[in-house]
Structure 1
Amino acid sequence: MAERDLADQTWRLIQDEPRDGATQMALEEAAARTALEDDVRTVRVYSWEPSTLSLGYRQEADSVDWDVCEREGIDVTRRQTGGGGIYHDRYADISYTIVAPADEVPGDLMDCYALFCEPILTAFEEMGVDADFAAAEQSAIYKPSCYLRDINPAHDVVAPASAPEQARKISGNAQYRQRDVVIQHGSLSYDRAPDKHVGVFDEVLETDTFTDRVTSIREESGIDREEAVDTLAVALGDWCDATPGEWRDEELAAARELADRKYGSDAWVRDREILEVSEQ
Protein backbone atom coordinates (compact mmCIF):
# COMPACT_ATOMS: atom_id res chain seq x y z
CA MET A 1 0.00 0.00 0.00
CA ALA A 2 1.33 3.40 -0.89
CA GLU A 3 2.15 5.86 1.85
CA ARG A 4 -0.67 8.20 0.79
CA ASP A 5 -3.21 5.47 1.61
CA LEU A 6 -2.23 5.06 5.26
CA ALA A 7 -4.60 7.79 6.44
CA ASP A 8 -7.50 6.10 4.63
CA GLN A 9 -7.41 3.33 7.24
CA THR A 10 -8.46 3.38 10.90
CA TRP A 11 -5.55 4.08 13.24
CA ARG A 12 -5.34 4.82 16.96
CA LEU A 13 -2.52 6.54 18.82
CA ILE A 14 -1.82 5.25 22.32
CA GLN A 15 0.43 7.29 24.61
CA ASP A 16 0.88 4.41 26.99
CA GLU A 17 1.58 4.38 30.69
CA PRO A 18 4.80 2.76 31.94
CA ARG A 19 4.48 -1.03 32.18
CA ASP A 20 6.70 -4.03 32.85
CA GLY A 21 8.58 -5.55 29.93
CA ALA A 22 6.52 -8.73 29.63
CA THR A 23 3.28 -6.77 29.38
CA GLN A 24 4.72 -4.32 26.86
CA MET A 25 5.68 -7.17 24.55
CA ALA A 26 2.35 -8.96 25.06
CA LEU A 27 0.40 -5.81 24.17
CA GLU A 28 1.96 -5.90 20.71
CA GLU A 29 0.35 -9.27 20.10
CA ALA A 30 -2.96 -7.94 21.41
CA ALA A 31 -2.69 -5.05 18.96
CA ALA A 32 -2.00 -7.49 16.13
CA ARG A 33 -5.24 -9.31 16.87
CA THR A 34 -7.14 -6.03 16.96
CA ALA A 35 -5.71 -5.01 13.60
CA LEU A 36 -6.89 -8.24 11.98
CA GLU A 37 -10.18 -8.83 13.74
CA ASP A 38 -11.42 -5.27 14.29
CA ASP A 39 -9.69 -3.38 11.48
CA VAL A 40 -7.97 -0.97 13.88
CA ARG A 41 -4.26 -0.29 13.49
CA THR A 42 -2.04 1.00 16.29
CA VAL A 43 0.81 3.42 16.81
CA ARG A 44 1.98 3.96 20.36
CA VAL A 45 4.71 5.52 22.50
CA TYR A 46 5.70 3.85 25.75
CA SER A 47 8.28 3.37 28.47
CA TRP A 48 9.36 0.49 30.69
CA GLU A 49 8.84 0.20 34.44
CA PRO A 50 10.82 -1.30 35.98
CA SER A 51 13.78 -0.71 33.69
CA THR A 52 14.05 -3.78 31.47
CA LEU A 53 16.59 -5.73 29.46
CA SER A 54 14.88 -7.08 26.35
CA LEU A 55 16.80 -9.93 24.74
CA GLY A 56 16.84 -10.50 21.01
CA TYR A 57 14.90 -13.56 19.88
CA ARG A 58 17.96 -15.82 19.41
CA GLN A 59 20.17 -14.26 22.06
CA GLU A 60 21.73 -16.71 24.50
CA ALA A 61 20.54 -16.29 28.08
CA ASP A 62 24.06 -16.88 29.41
CA SER A 63 25.12 -13.52 27.92
CA VAL A 64 23.14 -11.84 30.74
CA ASP A 65 24.53 -11.01 34.17
CA TRP A 66 21.49 -12.25 36.04
CA ASP A 67 22.92 -11.29 39.44
CA VAL A 68 23.30 -7.66 38.37
CA CYS A 69 19.77 -7.58 36.97
CA GLU A 70 18.34 -9.01 40.19
CA ARG A 71 20.38 -6.70 42.41
CA GLU A 72 19.50 -3.59 40.40
CA GLY A 73 15.82 -4.51 40.01
CA ILE A 74 16.11 -4.78 36.22
CA ASP A 75 13.39 -6.86 34.56
CA VAL A 76 14.34 -9.25 31.73
CA THR A 77 12.14 -10.31 28.82
CA ARG A 78 12.69 -11.58 25.29
CA ARG A 79 11.48 -9.90 22.10
CA GLN A 80 10.07 -11.53 18.99
CA THR A 81 12.63 -9.60 16.95
CA GLY A 82 16.27 -10.51 16.49
CA GLY A 83 19.41 -8.64 17.37
CA GLY A 84 21.09 -8.08 20.69
CA GLY A 85 19.79 -7.10 24.09
CA ILE A 86 18.60 -3.58 24.80
CA TYR A 87 18.61 -2.05 28.26
CA HIS A 88 15.44 0.06 28.37
CA ASP A 89 16.00 2.51 31.18
CA ARG A 90 12.80 3.91 32.73
CA TYR A 91 14.05 7.45 32.05
CA ALA A 92 16.68 7.18 29.32
CA ASP A 93 14.71 5.06 26.83
CA ILE A 94 11.66 6.06 24.74
CA SER A 95 10.02 3.24 22.78
CA TYR A 96 7.35 3.01 20.10
CA THR A 97 5.30 0.40 18.22
CA ILE A 98 3.58 0.38 14.82
CA VAL A 99 1.09 -2.41 14.05
CA ALA A 100 -0.66 -2.85 10.68
CA PRO A 101 -1.96 -5.65 8.43
CA ALA A 102 0.78 -7.02 6.21
CA ASP A 103 -1.22 -6.63 3.00
CA GLU A 104 -1.44 -2.86 3.54
CA VAL A 105 2.29 -2.16 3.71
CA PRO A 106 5.24 -2.86 1.38
CA GLY A 107 6.15 -6.53 1.13
CA ASP A 108 9.83 -5.70 0.74
CA LEU A 109 11.43 -5.49 4.17
CA MET A 110 13.63 -2.50 3.36
CA ASP A 111 10.75 -0.58 1.82
CA CYS A 112 8.65 -1.30 4.89
CA TYR A 113 11.42 -0.08 7.19
CA ALA A 114 11.69 3.09 5.13
CA LEU A 115 7.94 3.70 5.41
CA PHE A 116 7.60 2.90 9.11
CA CYS A 117 10.67 4.95 10.05
CA GLU A 118 9.35 8.09 8.35
CA PRO A 119 7.60 9.35 11.51
CA ILE A 120 10.65 8.50 13.60
CA LEU A 121 12.91 10.63 11.43
CA THR A 122 10.29 13.38 11.40
CA ALA A 123 10.20 13.30 15.19
CA PHE A 124 13.98 13.65 15.40
CA GLU A 125 13.83 16.62 13.04
CA GLU A 126 11.14 18.26 15.18
CA MET A 127 13.26 17.64 18.27
CA GLY A 128 16.18 19.45 16.65
CA VAL A 129 18.23 16.27 16.22
CA ASP A 130 20.21 15.88 12.98
CA ALA A 131 19.38 12.19 12.51
CA ASP A 132 19.04 9.80 9.58
CA PHE A 133 19.66 6.19 8.64
CA ALA A 134 23.33 5.30 9.01
CA ALA A 135 25.30 6.20 5.89
CA ALA A 136 27.47 3.09 6.13
CA GLU A 137 27.78 -0.11 8.11
CA GLN A 138 29.89 -0.19 11.24
CA SER A 139 31.25 -3.46 12.55
CA ALA A 140 30.09 -5.02 15.81
CA ILE A 141 31.90 -4.32 19.07
CA TYR A 142 29.93 -6.74 21.24
CA LYS A 143 27.13 -8.73 19.60
CA PRO A 144 25.00 -9.53 22.66
CA SER A 145 24.29 -5.77 22.99
CA CYS A 146 22.00 -4.24 20.36
CA TYR A 147 23.64 -0.83 20.62
CA LEU A 148 27.12 -2.37 20.26
CA ARG A 149 26.30 -4.69 17.36
CA ASP A 150 27.07 -3.80 13.76
CA ILE A 151 25.25 -0.66 12.63
CA ASN A 152 23.01 -1.36 9.65
CA PRO A 153 21.99 1.45 7.26
CA ALA A 154 18.66 -0.31 6.66
CA HIS A 155 17.22 0.25 10.13
CA ASP A 156 19.72 1.96 12.46
CA VAL A 157 19.45 5.73 12.94
CA VAL A 158 22.49 7.84 13.81
CA ALA A 159 23.30 11.45 14.68
CA PRO A 160 24.64 13.86 13.61
CA ALA A 161 23.79 12.64 10.12
CA SER A 162 25.55 15.56 8.47
CA ALA A 163 28.88 14.42 9.94
CA PRO A 164 29.04 10.67 9.21
CA GLU A 165 32.52 10.31 10.69
CA GLN A 166 31.18 11.56 14.04
CA ALA A 167 27.76 9.92 13.87
CA ARG A 168 26.69 7.61 16.69
CA LYS A 169 23.65 5.41 17.05
CA ILE A 170 20.55 7.06 18.50
CA SER A 171 17.79 4.63 17.56
CA GLY A 172 17.37 0.97 16.67
CA ASN A 173 14.29 -0.41 14.90
CA ALA A 174 13.13 -3.95 14.20
CA GLN A 175 10.18 -5.76 12.58
CA TYR A 176 8.44 -9.09 12.79
CA ARG A 177 5.33 -10.56 11.20
CA GLN A 178 2.67 -12.45 13.09
CA ARG A 179 -0.81 -13.55 11.99
CA ASP A 180 -0.51 -11.55 8.76
CA VAL A 181 0.36 -8.41 10.70
CA VAL A 182 3.58 -6.39 10.57
CA ILE A 183 4.81 -5.17 13.95
CA GLN A 184 7.68 -2.69 14.15
CA HIS A 185 9.09 -1.53 17.43
CA GLY A 186 12.03 0.65 18.21
CA SER A 187 14.07 2.27 20.93
CA LEU A 188 15.09 5.94 20.94
CA SER A 189 17.93 6.95 23.20
CA TYR A 190 16.68 9.99 25.11
CA ASP A 191 19.65 9.88 27.49
CA ARG A 192 22.49 7.47 28.08
CA ALA A 193 22.87 5.12 31.04
CA PRO A 194 26.21 3.52 30.11
CA ASP A 195 26.85 1.79 33.44
CA LYS A 196 23.56 -0.09 33.17
CA HIS A 197 23.85 -0.74 29.44
CA VAL A 198 27.17 -2.54 29.80
CA GLY A 199 26.52 -3.86 33.31
CA VAL A 200 23.60 -6.13 32.39
CA PHE A 201 25.84 -8.35 30.28
CA ASP A 202 28.01 -11.15 31.60
CA GLU A 203 31.24 -9.70 30.28
CA VAL A 204 33.36 -6.84 31.52
CA LEU A 205 32.86 -3.88 29.19
CA GLU A 206 34.15 -0.35 29.69
CA THR A 207 31.50 2.36 29.70
CA ASP A 208 33.30 4.29 26.96
CA THR A 209 32.69 1.30 24.71
CA PHE A 210 29.06 2.37 24.89
CA THR A 211 29.44 6.16 24.92
CA ASP A 212 31.79 6.10 21.92
CA ARG A 213 29.09 4.31 19.87
CA VAL A 214 25.84 5.83 21.21
CA THR A 215 24.45 9.36 21.47
CA SER A 216 21.14 10.66 22.80
CA ILE A 217 18.36 13.16 22.17
CA ARG A 218 19.33 15.06 25.30
CA GLU A 219 22.93 15.33 24.17
CA GLU A 220 22.07 16.32 20.60
CA SER A 221 19.28 18.84 21.26
CA GLY A 222 18.86 19.38 25.00
CA ILE A 223 15.05 19.13 25.05
CA ASP A 224 13.37 17.59 28.08
CA ARG A 225 12.03 14.08 28.06
CA GLU A 226 8.34 14.98 28.18
CA GLU A 227 8.72 17.18 25.11
CA ALA A 228 10.58 14.40 23.30
CA VAL A 229 7.81 11.89 24.09
CA ASP A 230 5.10 14.29 22.95
CA THR A 231 6.99 15.10 19.75
CA LEU A 232 7.31 11.41 18.89
CA ALA A 233 3.63 10.82 19.59
CA VAL A 234 2.57 13.73 17.37
CA ALA A 235 4.83 12.55 14.54
CA LEU A 236 3.40 9.02 14.70
CA GLY A 237 -0.18 10.29 14.86
CA ASP A 238 0.27 12.73 11.98
CA TRP A 239 1.94 10.08 9.83
CA CYS A 240 -1.17 7.92 9.70
CA ASP A 241 -3.84 10.40 10.81
CA ALA A 242 -4.45 8.43 13.99
CA THR A 243 -7.15 9.17 16.53
CA PRO A 244 -6.09 9.29 20.20
CA GLY A 245 -7.08 6.00 21.81
CA GLU A 246 -6.39 3.56 24.61
CA TRP A 247 -6.22 -0.16 25.20
CA ARG A 248 -9.49 -2.01 25.46
CA ASP A 249 -10.23 -4.04 28.57
CA GLU A 250 -10.12 -7.28 26.61
CA GLU A 251 -6.71 -6.37 25.15
CA LEU A 252 -5.29 -5.68 28.60
CA ALA A 253 -6.71 -8.97 29.90
CA ALA A 254 -5.25 -10.91 26.97
CA ALA A 255 -1.89 -9.18 27.42
CA ARG A 256 -1.78 -10.06 31.13
CA GLU A 257 -2.42 -13.72 30.35
CA LEU A 258 0.19 -13.78 27.59
CA ALA A 259 2.71 -11.93 29.75
CA ASP A 260 2.35 -14.61 32.44
CA ARG A 261 2.46 -17.52 30.02
CA LYS A 262 5.11 -16.25 27.62
CA TYR A 263 7.02 -13.01 27.96
CA GLY A 264 7.39 -13.14 31.74
CA SER A 265 8.17 -16.84 32.04
CA ASP A 266 11.66 -18.29 32.48
CA ALA A 267 10.82 -20.83 29.77
CA TRP A 268 10.52 -18.04 27.19
CA VAL A 269 13.12 -15.64 28.53
CA ARG A 270 15.85 -18.24 28.96
CA ASP A 271 14.93 -20.92 26.41
CA ARG A 272 12.44 -19.40 23.92
CA GLU A 273 9.80 -21.93 24.95
CA ILE A 274 6.13 -20.95 25.13
CA LEU A 275 4.08 -22.57 27.86
CA GLU A 276 0.66 -23.93 27.02
CA VAL A 277 -2.23 -22.81 29.20
CA SER A 278 -2.23 -26.18 30.99
CA GLU A 279 1.46 -25.81 31.89
CA GLN A 280 1.16 -22.57 33.84
Structure 2
Amino acid sequence: MTDAASGSLADRDWRLIRDDARDGATQMALEEVAAETAITDGIRTVRTFSWEPSTLSLGYRQDAETVDWGFCEREGIGVTRRQTGGGGIYHDRFADISYTIVAPADEVPGDLMDCYDLFCEPILEAFDRLGVDADFAASEQDAIYQPACYLRDIHPAHDIVAPAGAADTARPKKISGNAQYRQRDVVIQHGSLSFDLEPTRHVGTFATDIADATFTDRVTSIREQVGEIDRETALETLGDALGDWCDADDGTWRAEELEAARDLADRKYGSDAWIKNREALEASEQ
Protein backbone atom coordinates (compact mmCIF):
# COMPACT_ATOMS: atom_id res chain seq x y z
CA MET A 1 0.00 0.00 0.00
CA THR A 2 1.26 3.50 -0.76
CA ASP A 3 1.73 5.81 2.19
CA ALA A 4 -1.11 7.99 0.91
CA ALA A 5 -3.52 5.08 0.64
CA SER A 6 -2.47 3.71 4.00
CA GLY A 7 -2.99 7.07 5.66
CA SER A 8 -6.42 7.63 4.14
CA LEU A 9 -7.60 4.20 5.28
CA ALA A 10 -6.25 4.61 8.80
CA ASP A 11 -7.96 8.00 9.10
CA ARG A 12 -11.39 6.37 8.75
CA ASP A 13 -13.49 4.40 11.21
CA TRP A 14 -13.01 0.68 10.63
CA ARG A 15 -14.06 -2.34 12.64
CA LEU A 16 -12.58 -5.82 12.49
CA ILE A 17 -15.11 -8.60 13.05
CA ARG A 18 -13.72 -12.07 13.67
CA ASP A 19 -17.07 -13.57 12.85
CA ASP A 20 -18.76 -16.73 14.02
CA ALA A 21 -19.34 -19.63 11.65
CA ARG A 22 -22.77 -19.13 10.03
CA ASP A 23 -24.87 -20.54 7.21
CA GLY A 24 -24.19 -19.25 3.72
CA ALA A 25 -27.38 -17.21 3.35
CA THR A 26 -26.64 -15.27 6.53
CA GLN A 27 -23.00 -14.71 5.58
CA MET A 28 -24.01 -13.15 2.27
CA ALA A 29 -26.75 -11.08 3.91
CA LEU A 30 -24.31 -9.68 6.45
CA GLU A 31 -22.27 -8.18 3.62
CA GLU A 32 -25.26 -6.16 2.45
CA VAL A 33 -25.97 -5.11 6.02
CA ALA A 34 -22.36 -3.97 6.42
CA ALA A 35 -22.75 -1.89 3.26
CA GLU A 36 -25.78 -0.15 4.76
CA THR A 37 -23.85 0.51 7.96
CA ALA A 38 -21.01 2.08 5.98
CA ILE A 39 -23.48 4.44 4.31
CA THR A 40 -25.63 5.39 7.27
CA ASP A 41 -23.12 5.31 10.13
CA GLY A 42 -19.76 5.80 8.42
CA ILE A 43 -18.36 2.55 9.85
CA ARG A 44 -16.33 0.43 7.46
CA THR A 45 -15.91 -3.30 8.00
CA VAL A 46 -13.25 -5.94 7.55
CA ARG A 47 -14.02 -9.44 8.77
CA THR A 48 -12.99 -13.07 8.68
CA PHE A 49 -15.57 -15.84 8.65
CA SER A 50 -16.33 -19.53 8.19
CA TRP A 51 -19.29 -21.45 6.80
CA GLU A 52 -21.51 -23.75 8.85
CA PRO A 53 -22.70 -25.92 7.28
CA SER A 54 -20.21 -26.18 4.43
CA THR A 55 -21.72 -24.23 1.54
CA LEU A 56 -21.59 -23.95 -2.24
CA SER A 57 -21.86 -20.29 -3.24
CA LEU A 58 -22.97 -19.85 -6.84
CA GLY A 59 -21.70 -17.01 -8.99
CA TYR A 60 -24.35 -14.37 -9.73
CA ARG A 61 -25.11 -15.60 -13.27
CA GLN A 62 -24.33 -19.27 -12.75
CA ASP A 63 -26.90 -21.74 -14.06
CA ALA A 64 -28.47 -23.68 -11.18
CA GLU A 65 -28.47 -26.77 -13.41
CA THR A 66 -24.69 -26.98 -13.00
CA VAL A 67 -25.22 -28.00 -9.34
CA ASP A 68 -25.46 -31.62 -8.24
CA TRP A 69 -28.35 -30.97 -5.87
CA GLY A 70 -28.55 -34.60 -4.81
CA PHE A 71 -24.89 -34.64 -3.75
CA CYS A 72 -25.29 -31.43 -1.78
CA GLU A 73 -28.34 -32.79 0.02
CA ARG A 74 -26.68 -36.11 0.86
CA GLU A 75 -23.55 -34.41 2.14
CA GLY A 76 -25.37 -31.72 4.10
CA ILE A 77 -23.92 -28.92 1.96
CA GLY A 78 -25.84 -25.65 1.87
CA VAL A 79 -26.26 -23.65 -1.34
CA THR A 80 -26.56 -19.89 -1.78
CA ARG A 81 -25.85 -17.36 -4.52
CA ARG A 82 -23.37 -14.49 -4.36
CA GLN A 83 -23.73 -10.96 -5.72
CA THR A 84 -20.39 -11.40 -7.50
CA GLY A 85 -19.90 -13.23 -10.77
CA GLY A 86 -17.75 -16.18 -11.65
CA GLY A 87 -18.24 -19.84 -10.92
CA GLY A 88 -19.34 -21.69 -7.83
CA ILE A 89 -17.08 -22.11 -4.81
CA TYR A 90 -17.37 -24.92 -2.31
CA HIS A 91 -16.65 -23.37 1.11
CA ASP A 92 -15.73 -26.24 3.38
CA ARG A 93 -16.30 -25.70 7.11
CA PHE A 94 -12.67 -26.60 7.79
CA ALA A 95 -10.76 -26.22 4.51
CA ASP A 96 -12.01 -22.73 3.57
CA ILE A 97 -11.23 -19.38 5.23
CA SER A 98 -13.16 -16.35 3.97
CA TYR A 99 -13.05 -12.59 4.40
CA THR A 100 -14.98 -9.43 3.52
CA ILE A 101 -13.95 -5.78 3.05
CA VAL A 102 -16.65 -3.09 2.90
CA ALA A 103 -15.90 0.59 2.24
CA PRO A 104 -17.57 3.62 0.60
CA ALA A 105 -16.76 3.76 -3.11
CA ASP A 106 -15.59 7.37 -3.01
CA GLU A 107 -12.81 6.46 -0.55
CA VAL A 108 -11.13 3.81 -2.69
CA PRO A 109 -9.71 3.74 -6.24
CA GLY A 110 -12.34 4.00 -8.93
CA ASP A 111 -10.35 1.79 -11.28
CA LEU A 112 -11.27 -1.85 -10.68
CA MET A 113 -7.73 -3.19 -10.99
CA ASP A 114 -6.34 -0.52 -8.67
CA CYS A 115 -9.03 -1.35 -6.14
CA TYR A 116 -8.15 -5.05 -6.33
CA ASP A 117 -4.51 -4.16 -5.76
CA LEU A 118 -5.42 -2.18 -2.66
CA PHE A 119 -7.94 -4.60 -1.16
CA CYS A 120 -5.75 -7.66 -1.77
CA GLU A 121 -2.77 -6.14 0.07
CA PRO A 122 -3.81 -7.54 3.47
CA ILE A 123 -4.51 -10.93 1.88
CA LEU A 124 -1.00 -11.11 0.43
CA GLU A 125 0.36 -9.86 3.74
CA ALA A 126 -1.45 -12.67 5.56
CA PHE A 127 0.07 -15.24 3.22
CA ASP A 128 3.50 -13.72 3.81
CA ARG A 129 3.07 -13.93 7.59
CA LEU A 130 2.03 -17.56 7.20
CA GLY A 131 5.14 -18.35 5.17
CA VAL A 132 3.28 -18.87 1.89
CA ASP A 133 5.02 -17.58 -1.25
CA ALA A 134 1.90 -16.16 -2.89
CA ASP A 135 1.16 -13.37 -5.34
CA PHE A 136 -1.21 -12.39 -8.12
CA ALA A 137 -1.00 -14.81 -11.04
CA ALA A 138 1.75 -13.71 -13.42
CA SER A 139 -0.17 -14.93 -16.48
CA GLU A 140 -3.57 -16.24 -17.44
CA GLN A 141 -4.38 -19.96 -17.41
CA ASP A 142 -7.20 -21.42 -19.49
CA ALA A 143 -10.40 -22.70 -17.92
CA ILE A 144 -10.76 -26.40 -17.15
CA TYR A 145 -14.43 -26.27 -16.09
CA GLN A 146 -16.19 -22.92 -16.33
CA PRO A 147 -18.94 -23.39 -13.68
CA ALA A 148 -16.33 -23.96 -10.91
CA CYS A 149 -14.53 -20.83 -9.78
CA TYR A 150 -11.31 -22.63 -8.87
CA LEU A 151 -11.27 -24.40 -12.26
CA ARG A 152 -12.11 -21.37 -14.38
CA ASP A 153 -9.47 -19.39 -16.23
CA ILE A 154 -6.93 -17.89 -13.82
CA HIS A 155 -6.71 -14.12 -14.18
CA PRO A 156 -3.75 -11.99 -13.02
CA ALA A 157 -6.10 -9.22 -11.89
CA HIS A 158 -7.61 -10.98 -8.89
CA ASP A 159 -6.47 -14.61 -8.64
CA ILE A 160 -3.70 -15.38 -6.16
CA VAL A 161 -1.40 -18.33 -6.77
CA ALA A 162 1.38 -20.17 -4.96
CA PRO A 163 4.26 -20.63 -5.07
CA ALA A 164 4.68 -17.24 -6.72
CA GLY A 165 8.32 -17.88 -7.56
CA ALA A 166 7.80 -21.31 -9.08
CA ALA A 167 10.28 -22.48 -11.66
CA ASP A 168 9.24 -23.38 -15.19
CA THR A 169 8.86 -27.00 -14.09
CA ALA A 170 6.37 -26.13 -11.33
CA ARG A 171 3.34 -24.14 -12.44
CA PRO A 172 1.84 -22.01 -9.65
CA LYS A 173 -1.57 -23.15 -8.42
CA LYS A 174 -4.54 -21.08 -7.32
CA ILE A 175 -4.77 -20.57 -3.57
CA SER A 176 -7.21 -17.64 -3.29
CA GLY A 177 -10.03 -16.16 -5.35
CA ASN A 178 -11.31 -12.61 -4.81
CA ALA A 179 -14.25 -10.69 -6.24
CA GLN A 180 -15.84 -7.23 -5.92
CA TYR A 181 -19.22 -5.67 -6.44
CA ARG A 182 -20.63 -2.20 -5.86
CA GLN A 183 -23.93 -1.54 -4.17
CA ARG A 184 -25.35 1.87 -3.27
CA ASP A 185 -21.97 3.60 -3.58
CA VAL A 186 -20.23 0.97 -1.45
CA VAL A 187 -17.52 -1.42 -2.62
CA ILE A 188 -17.72 -4.94 -1.22
CA GLN A 189 -14.88 -7.38 -1.78
CA HIS A 190 -14.99 -10.93 -0.54
CA GLY A 191 -12.63 -13.78 -1.04
CA SER A 192 -11.81 -17.38 -0.26
CA LEU A 193 -8.47 -18.73 0.93
CA SER A 194 -7.77 -22.46 0.65
CA PHE A 195 -6.54 -23.57 4.05
CA ASP A 196 -6.72 -27.24 3.06
CA LEU A 197 -8.09 -29.22 0.13
CA GLU A 198 -11.32 -31.25 -0.05
CA PRO A 199 -11.30 -32.13 -3.76
CA THR A 200 -13.94 -34.87 -3.63
CA ARG A 201 -16.50 -32.65 -1.94
CA HIS A 202 -15.53 -29.60 -4.01
CA VAL A 203 -15.97 -31.21 -7.41
CA GLY A 204 -18.87 -33.33 -6.15
CA THR A 205 -21.07 -30.26 -5.77
CA PHE A 206 -21.10 -29.85 -9.55
CA ALA A 207 -23.16 -31.88 -12.02
CA THR A 208 -20.16 -33.15 -13.95
CA ASP A 209 -17.62 -35.95 -13.84
CA ILE A 210 -14.37 -34.29 -12.77
CA ALA A 211 -11.54 -36.31 -11.27
CA ASP A 212 -10.10 -35.20 -7.94
CA ALA A 213 -6.69 -34.98 -9.61
CA THR A 214 -8.00 -32.36 -12.01
CA PHE A 215 -8.77 -30.15 -9.02
CA THR A 216 -5.53 -30.78 -7.12
CA ASP A 217 -3.49 -30.18 -10.28
CA ARG A 218 -4.94 -26.66 -10.38
CA VAL A 219 -5.44 -25.72 -6.71
CA THR A 220 -3.14 -25.62 -3.69
CA SER A 221 -3.62 -24.74 -0.03
CA ILE A 222 -1.91 -23.12 2.92
CA ARG A 223 -1.23 -26.51 4.49
CA GLU A 224 0.20 -27.88 1.27
CA GLN A 225 2.56 -24.93 1.00
CA VAL A 226 3.81 -24.70 4.60
CA GLY A 227 3.06 -28.09 6.18
CA GLU A 228 1.14 -28.67 9.37
CA ILE A 229 -0.44 -25.47 10.67
CA ASP A 230 -3.38 -24.93 12.95
CA ARG A 231 -6.47 -23.53 11.25
CA GLU A 232 -7.12 -21.07 14.08
CA THR A 233 -3.60 -19.71 13.61
CA ALA A 234 -4.26 -19.11 9.93
CA LEU A 235 -7.63 -17.49 10.67
CA GLU A 236 -6.12 -15.24 13.34
CA THR A 237 -3.25 -14.26 11.04
CA LEU A 238 -5.67 -13.21 8.31
CA GLY A 239 -7.70 -11.16 10.79
CA ASP A 240 -4.57 -9.47 12.13
CA ALA A 241 -3.42 -8.57 8.61
CA LEU A 242 -6.82 -7.08 7.74
CA GLY A 243 -6.93 -5.10 10.98
CA ASP A 244 -3.40 -3.76 10.60
CA TRP A 245 -4.07 -2.78 6.99
CA CYS A 246 -6.75 -0.24 7.92
CA ASP A 247 -6.01 0.25 11.64
CA ALA A 248 -9.37 -1.28 12.54
CA ASP A 249 -10.80 -1.53 16.04
CA ASP A 250 -12.05 -4.90 17.23
CA GLY A 251 -15.82 -4.97 16.77
CA THR A 252 -18.95 -7.08 16.63
CA TRP A 253 -22.26 -6.99 14.81
CA ARG A 254 -24.94 -4.92 16.49
CA ALA A 255 -28.21 -6.61 17.39
CA GLU A 256 -30.12 -4.68 14.72
CA GLU A 257 -27.60 -5.71 12.08
CA LEU A 258 -28.01 -9.38 12.93
CA GLU A 259 -31.78 -9.00 12.83
CA ALA A 260 -31.63 -7.30 9.43
CA ALA A 261 -29.32 -10.04 8.14
CA ARG A 262 -31.68 -12.78 9.28
CA ASP A 263 -34.56 -11.11 7.45
CA LEU A 264 -32.49 -10.64 4.29
CA ALA A 265 -31.25 -14.22 4.44
CA ASP A 266 -34.84 -15.50 4.66
CA ARG A 267 -36.24 -13.51 1.77
CA LYS A 268 -33.21 -13.45 -0.50
CA TYR A 269 -30.03 -15.48 0.00
CA GLY A 270 -31.75 -18.52 1.46
CA SER A 271 -34.74 -18.58 -0.91
CA ASP A 272 -35.08 -20.85 -3.93
CA ALA A 273 -36.20 -17.82 -5.95
CA TRP A 274 -32.77 -16.22 -5.49
CA ILE A 275 -30.60 -19.33 -5.44
CA LYS A 276 -32.09 -20.88 -8.57
CA ASN A 277 -33.44 -17.86 -10.49
CA ARG A 278 -31.72 -14.73 -9.08
CA GLU A 279 -35.08 -13.35 -7.94
CA ALA A 280 -35.21 -11.52 -4.60
CA LEU A 281 -38.55 -11.10 -2.86
CA GLU A 282 -39.50 -7.85 -1.18
CA ALA A 283 -40.48 -7.98 2.46
CA SER A 284 -44.14 -7.34 1.50
CA GLU A 285 -44.14 -10.52 -0.62
CA GLN A 286 -43.25 -12.82 2.28
Which TM-score band applies after superposition, normalised by the shorter structure?
over 0.9
Structure 1 residue 276, shift from structure 2 partner: 1.5
Alignment of structure 1 residues 98-247 onto 2, 5 Å: 98-163=101-166, 165-222=170-227, 223-247=229-253
Q: 1:43 corresponds to which residue?
A: 46
CA separation in 2, counterparts of 1:80 and 1:221?
Answer: 32
Alpha-carbon distance, 1:224 to partner: 1.4
Moved more, 122-131 or 159-168: 159-168
Q: Distance in 1 between matches of 2:48 and 2:69?
A: 28
Q: 1:63 aligns with which of 66, 71, 80?
A: 66
Does structure 2 retain, via aligned residues, the 8 Å contact 1:3–1:115? no
Matched position secondary structure for 2:123: helix
Q: CA RMSD in A?
A: 0.8
1:2 CA drift (Å): 2.8
Q: 1:174 aligns to what SS in structure 2?
A: strand
Q: Contact conserved, 1:63 with 1:144, CA < 8 A, in 2?
A: yes
TM-score (norm 2): 0.97
- Residue matched to 1:90: 93
- Counterpart AA for 1:242: A
Q: Cα deviations across residues 34-67 of structure 1 (Å, max 9, x unaligned)?
A: 0010000000000000000000000000000000
Q: Which aligned runs of 4 or more in structure 1 are off by greater than 4 angstroms? A: none
- What CA distance in whole angstroms lies between the structure 1 residues aligned with 2:208 and 2:180? 28
* TM-score where L is the length of structure 1: 0.99
User: What secondary structure sits across from 2:30 in the alignment?
Assistant: helix
Q: Distance in 1 between matches of 2:231 and 2:5?
A: 33
Cross-structure match for 2:264:
258
Aligned to 1:268: 274
Between the two proteins, what is the percent identity of the paired residues? 74
The 3-state SS of whatever aligns with 2:100 is strand
Distance, in Å, in 1 between the alignment partners of 2:14 and 2:112 is: 21
Which one-letter code corresponds to 1:83 in the other structure? G
1:4 CA displacement: 2.4
Amino acid in structure 2 at the alignment position of 1:234: D
The letter of the residue matching 1:148 is L
Instruction: Determine the C-alpha separation between the residues in 2 that align with 1:77 and 1:102.
Output: 26
Deviations 1:197-218 (A, max 9, x none): 1100001110011000000001
1:53 paired residue number: 56
Shift, 1:277, TM fit: 1.4
Partner residue, 1:80:
83
CA contact (8 A) 2:6 2:245 kept: no
Q: What runs of 5+ residues in structure 1 fail to find an aligned partner?
A: none
Q: Deviations along 1:192-244, whole A, 9 cap, x unmatched? A: 00001110000111001100000000110122111100000000000000000
Q: Is the 2:136–2:156 Cα contact (8 Å) retained in structure 1?
A: yes
Amino acid at match of 2:90: Y
Structure 2: stretches of 5+ with no match in the other structure: none
The one-letter code of the counterpart of 1:42 is T
Does the CA contact (< 8 Å) of 1:261 and 1:276 recur in 2? yes
SS class of match (1:90)? coil
Q: Tell me the matched-pair count.
A: 280
Which residue is 2:32 aligned to?
29
Do structure 1's residue 20 and structure 2's residue 26 form an aligned pair?
A: no
Q: Which digits, 9 at most, give the CA deviation of each residue in 1:112-146, with x for residues without a partner?
A: 00000000000000000000000000000000000
